[in-house]
Amino acid sequence: MVLRLDEVSVSVETPDGDLTLLHPTTLTLSERRIALIGGNGSGKSTFARLLNGLVEPTTGRVTVDELDTVDDGAAVRRAVGFVFTDPGAQLVMPTCLEDVALSLRRSVKDRARRRREALDVLESIGLADKADVSVHALSGGQKQMLALAGVLATRPKVVVADEPTTLLDLRNTRAVADRLFSLTQQLVLVTHDLELVARCDRVLVIDDARVTFDGAPADAVAHYRASVDGAPSGPSA
């Protein structure tokens, strides 16, 4: 998949005037594993949400294989799945099976087939034995896996994950990360975990609503560390 931003900016109105969440940005993203890093409030989540139309550009155009995120919003959201930091934002049904089945309600009309496919998805992420368990009885890692399952059930071509391991302990972080990196889909990962960044093909550093670096993981992390430390970091890409 090719994700493209053409002179895209995002701003919102506030009592004190317009607030810029992303300055004009032009990029083409086609790598299989892409990471977005930067400080809190830097604009990472805004950038990520642009990719499936959760945020619309104030200026410019975002496309996913030529589908416009504004004009072709429904098709874009079928192609680009989104995993939130807090799985509670996605888990809305009483049990695990019902939650995954909900994601299939539009594509699979037959109830029995929908149940079978939902069970297959749960099996694929190691939650088959939790099918009839309340989502509220799951651990944090299991909830994030279930949220991912709901996204994968729709068979997207791209998965955007916005800090999916931030609320997890080390063991669950590794489990969720390993599952994300095993996906056949293109992955765009927003993260503070620099170990995960090292597993990506391309990394964007975002600071003060701008992409300040675009390159290989090691170089991006060096740039990010230098900016945090206040040291000169060289020209931005």
What pLDDT digit, counting tens, does each position of 109-162 carry?
A: 999 999 999 999 999 999 999 999 999 999 999 999 999 999 999 999 999 999
Query: What pLDDT was estimated at residue 102?
Result: 95
pLDDT at 229: 82
The confidence score (pLDDT) of residue 151 equals 95
pLDDT of residue 233: 46
pLDDT at 47 (0 to 100): 98
pTM: 0.91
Residues of the chain with pLDDT under 70: 231-237
Q: What is the pLDDT of residue 3?
A: 98
Residue 6's pLDDT is: 98
Which domains, from first to last, does the chain contain? 3-90+157-229 (3.40.50.300)
Write down the pLDDT at residue 230.
Answer: 74
Q: Tell me, letter by letter, the H, E, C secondary structure of the chain.
A: CCEEEEEEEEEEEECCEEEEEEEEEEEEECCCEEEEECCCCCCHHHHHHHCCCCCCCCEEEEEECCEECCCCHHHHHHHEEEECCCHHHCCCCCEHHHHHHHHCCCCCCCHHHHHHHHHHHHHHCCCHHHCCCEHHHCCHHHHHHHHHHHHHCCCCCEEEEECCCCCCCHHHHHHHHHHHHCCCCEEEEECCCHHHHCCCCEEEEEECCEEEEEECHHHHHHHHHHHHHCCCCCCCC
pLDDT score recorded for residue 236: 37
